[in-house]
Structure 1
Amino acid sequence: MHLRQGWAAPTGLVLTAALLAGCTDADPDDDGPTAAAPQPSVTSDAPSEPSPSEAVSEEPSLSPADQAAAEAEAAYARWIAFQNDTLQAPPPISGDGEASEQAFSTFETSIREVGQGEAEGILISTVDQYNQGGWRQVGRTEVTWTDVREVLLDPESPSDESITLRACLTPVDVRVLNADGADVFPELEATPLVSEAVLERPISGQADGWRVATTRVVEEEEC
């Protein structure tokens, strides 16, 4: 297996990647809002006329920037979910055998549906280190909120378009375990943090949309 040169991630980054990964489902203990009791129906022999509030109204269409922002938020959620799933069951990409080469090729193809560039390289290196250590992630991370900071659109040059957003990531029982089930970082307390991501258009050969290109922890901001 041939990892790209320049993507060797330090051990500390491995744990950071684990804590940043994932988007959870809703809490299974949360029954959600209580439904209001049904109101008795009222019948009348007279023909009914729709009230102004019942009239069908057309919602104004989103501006190109707002539409792009919504698409980018959804793309970011897919990227985080992909990282979560990947680190919970790291693909066996390490080694020089045919099986590892095939696993790497399949994994790389999957990554490029949601990420590219620096973000892609860091995740590949992280998975390699998980392979080497026999590690896996347990728990997931909830995306508490997202805030789109900048939208740069250029219809004449889509490759130059980008969207910058920030998100609050809250770890939910996230730990990194070794092959024996022991906690690799028992002293670490996983806490919420703010991550900033830049999303770009696909480099080439991929479906249209947005891909996470870079991510970083925003140390000066709290969730």
Structure 2
Amino acid sequence: MRTTPALLTAALLLALAAGCTTSPDASSQTPTPTESTSPSVSASPSPTSADPRVLARANAEDAVRSYYALVDEVGSDPNTPASRLERVATSVELEVRQADLEQWRKDGWRKTGRTQVTDVVVQSVILDNSDPKAGLVPTVQVDVCYDVSDVDVLDSAGASVVSPDRADRAWERLHVANYDYDDDPDGGWRVAALETLEKAPCAGS
């Protein structure tokens, strides 16, 4: 985690994926969208549906919620292995999160509170698994509005390092990919890339 004040807001808002590069192996390639479906506000699809798009959508939504929960957990406990992030992230996002966490721990930072996922909007479902090495893997694009009003980041002395200008609610776009789709179409979904969206935040509950 960089410690300059200008980056504190972006760090806490989980928007550090921008500007990072991928490595040449398949697991570090950012998924490549090739088609899209109409956006839809999150609603739990029928778990008995045989439609692979419906199942992918539901599994990706579950993966998104697990991602935010585990990022909070790992950030709050310096004894939690960084490797646990592999359960919820892959590719660029995994590299960013692990580097971020390593810097936090060097600086003696820790997170308190929990991120609330307020809105989840599925923007596209793409099940192209034709070339994983080129990033052509099943990918669900999900827009998430989250609330961090309960979240703080403390330094080694227990003082907050969060910018007073931080927005408590904001939108992010998550690209949730499954590089193991053939072997694990349900449980292989991970957040592969993330970007901050410039739009009005969702309303608070």
Question: Same fold judged by TM-score > 0.5?
Answer: yes
The aligned counterpart of 1:107 is 82
Amino acid at match of 1:181: G
- C-alpha displacement of 1:107: 2.5
In structure 2, relative to structure 1, the CA distance for the partners of 1:192 and 1:64 (3 Å cut) is same
- Uncovered stretches (5+) of structure 2, i.e. residues with no partner: 16-45
- Please state if 1:61 is matched with 2:55: no
Amino acid at match of 2:10: T
The aligned counterpart of 1:78 is 66
- Please state if 1:87 is matched with 2:75: yes
- Please state if 1:125 is matched with 2:99: yes
| 1:165-176 correspondence to structure 2 within 5 Å | 165-176=142-153
Alpha-carbon distance in structure 2 between the residues aligned to 1:59 and 1:197? 22
Q: Higher RCO, 1 or 2 (CA under 8 Å, sep at least 6)?
A: 2
The aligned counterpart of 2:168 is 191
Cα-Cα RMSD = 2.9
- Alpha-carbon displacement from aligned partner over 1:167-187 (angstroms, at most 9, x marks no partner): 110113211111111112352
The aligned counterpart of 2:40 is none
In structure 2, relative to structure 1, the CA distance for the partners of 1:61 and 1:185 (3 Å cut) is closer
- C-alpha displacement of 1:16: 2.9
The aligned counterpart of 1:217 is 196
- TM value normalised by structure 1: 0.64
- Uncovered stretches (5+) of structure 1, i.e. residues with no partner: 1-8, 22-57, 93-105
The aligned counterpart of 1:29 is none
- Alpha-carbon displacement from aligned partner over 1:15-35 (angstroms, at most 9, x marks no partner): 5343349xxxxxxxxxxxxxx
SS at match of 2:115: strand
Number of matched residues? 164
Q: Is the 8 A contact 2:152 2:160 kept in 1?
A: yes
- Please state if 1:150 is matched with 2:124: yes
In structure 2, relative to structure 1, the CA distance for the partners of 1:91 and 1:60 (3 Å cut) is closer
- C-alpha displacement of 1:210: 0.5
Q: Is the 8 A contact 1:140 1:174 kept in 2?
A: yes
- Please state if 1:16 is matched with 2:7: no
Indicate the percent of aligned positions where both proteins have the same amino acid. Answer: 28
SS at match of 1:184: coil
More displaced 10-residue stretch of structure 1: 117-126 or 155-164:
155-164
Q: Is the 8 A contact 2:149 2:169 kept in 1?
A: no
- TM value normalised by structure 2: 0.69
Q: Is the 8 A contact 2:82 2:101 kept in 1?
A: no
